[in-house]
Chain A
């Protein structure tokens, strides 16, 4: 149930802009930084646009980038974890040490270097967040993957002559699903925080496209004019991560249940 709430929340923000069809250049004719009123339930932003519509529009960008980066980083992390436990010892060690080196660079620094190199288009942001997050996914999935690879039934399949892809998809993956579900939610929160932070720093999603982090940055001047506008996107980020957390605390149990 909690997991469904979270998934519903994400899907809602992904889909809404296509349903209500907001576009960047519709002006609602409000004043700058108006307080909430019946016409503008969340007030207006720094250009006098309706804050609610802006949040919805930015929400779809945020959710799209985060969901893509989450799935990609989970797939990459899982592949590397499987590779490092199935490879012969020398390439496996090289892979693991490479991960250590990548892991020892603070995530924001990786983002700085890669954004300077590739710019901040949507695609490059997804790739950059994936690069940062997949090492984390690798680290937390590695232990269960190694454990499952050591199981007798995997050994049996190996002796039977099955290939690597079969081992991973048929033997390891079904046993890994609860871990992967929890990791999926954790990665989503990390991606959300990370994307918002780099957007807030002004090197993430670039206007006129906005995500929640960019909205905070653009509306920051409102604080000094006694408006709470920049806090609103932040509250949405907080709600998203709280929902994800509650889903994660239930996710492994849910998956075990659905499997039986």
Chain B
């Protein structure tokens, strides 16, 4: 517990960074030129009505004051009302959040396969390994939406195995959910397999150069046995870190994949809030996603620190 002050300091820094990020997001959205009050009123526009609406939305106050009020309301869980649908932001977000979480969860299910890919390419003969490395490189260079469209073209249009548009509804059965989620989650999963596989391969190749690996081999253990039994557990902190970094990547990857597959989730909501200039919804989505992002990275630092410290003892 001697590390408690430094831990608290670390936590304080993260919170400060998050606050600064929230401020950047707030002032970014406050920069919006043109009066969105006029846009909001449309044909009903009269100067009096505009002034009234601006007052009721609190837009006539100075900017720093608005930021503080906004932050306090936000921390109390009052996220304001959507400009376009006129219902509380949380009611707009909640049903979509479930869809996004389902997609992200389905994408994480591919992680074991990524681990297997890394270990398999380490154990494969050199020519095959080089081929696999090249393949992973190509996949990494391909943007996820290209992978998504290729998958739709092959599996939904040509082979007609899976639906091209993924409609998620609460009344669907579990098997229907899975069927709908296979294709979008696979698009994210393929990128993950390539990224994690490559990182794992280079980590294992580095382990192979270490003394214990050489020693175990001289003792007569096979290469695959050493890799699975010792090397994988030696790089476990890095693997957990990879998983967390990938979760952070999923956050933004999911936004694009949602739009491609027409899943109504947070990403689709955020994009439409940009198009319709629905500021409260946009602010909520931005701060929410950023908070998760910062949280995941803090957790990854924490876990990496903890485990390697325990290993050092």
Contact = CB atoms under 8 A, between A and B. Distances in A.
Interface of A: 97-98, 100-102, 104-110, 112-118, 189, 193, 196-197, 200-203, 216, 220, 223-224, 226, 228, 230-231, 234-235, 237-238, 241-242, 245
B17 A104 contact: yes
A228 B17 contact: no
Contacts of A115: 274
Nearest 4 A/B pairs, CB to CB: A101-B20, A234-B146, A113-B28, A117-B31
B293 A104 contact: yes
B18 A104 contact: yes
A127 B260 CA distance: 26
Nearest to B282: A116
Contacts of B279: 116
Residue from A105, A110, A114, A115 with most neighbouring chain B CB atoms (10 Å)? A105
A220 B164 CA distance: 11
A193 B143 contact: yes
Given A117-B31, A241-B141, A231 B150 contact: yes
B143 A101 contact: no
A238 B150 CA distance: 12
Contacts of A117: 28-29, 31-33
Interface of B: 16-18, 20-21, 24-25, 28-29, 31-33, 137-138, 141-143, 145-146, 149-150, 152-153, 157-158, 164, 248, 251-252, 255-256, 259-260, 270-271, 273-275, 277, 279, 282, 285-286, 289-290, 293-294, 297
A112 B286 contact: yes
Contact of A196 (B145, B158, B271): B145
A201 B164 contact: no
Interface of B is mostly: helix
A27 to B, nearest CB: 25
B297 to A, nearest CB: 7
Contact of A230 (B21, B149, B277): B149
Contact of A245 (B137, B150, B157, B252): B137
Contacts of B294: 104
A101 B24 contact: yes
A106 B249 CA distance: 9
Contacts of A113: 25, 28-29, 282, 286
B145 A216 contact: yes
Contacts of A197: 143, 145, 256
Nearest to B142: A238
Contacts of B145: 196-197, 200, 216, 234
24 contacts: A97-B17, A97-B20, A98-B20, A101-B20, A104-B21, A105-B290, A106-B251, A109-B25, A109-B289, A109-B290, A112-B282, A114-B28, A116-B277, A117-B31, A197-B143, A200-B259, A200-B260, A201-B255, A203-B275, A223-B149, A224-B157, A231-B150, A234-B150, A242-B141
A106 B289 contact: yes
Contact of B297 (A104, A110, A216, A235): A104
A242 B25 contact: no
A105 B293 contact: yes
Residue from B21, B32, B274, B289 with most neighbouring chain A CB atoms (10 Å)? B274
Contacts of A228: 153
Contact of B274 (A97, A116, A193): A116
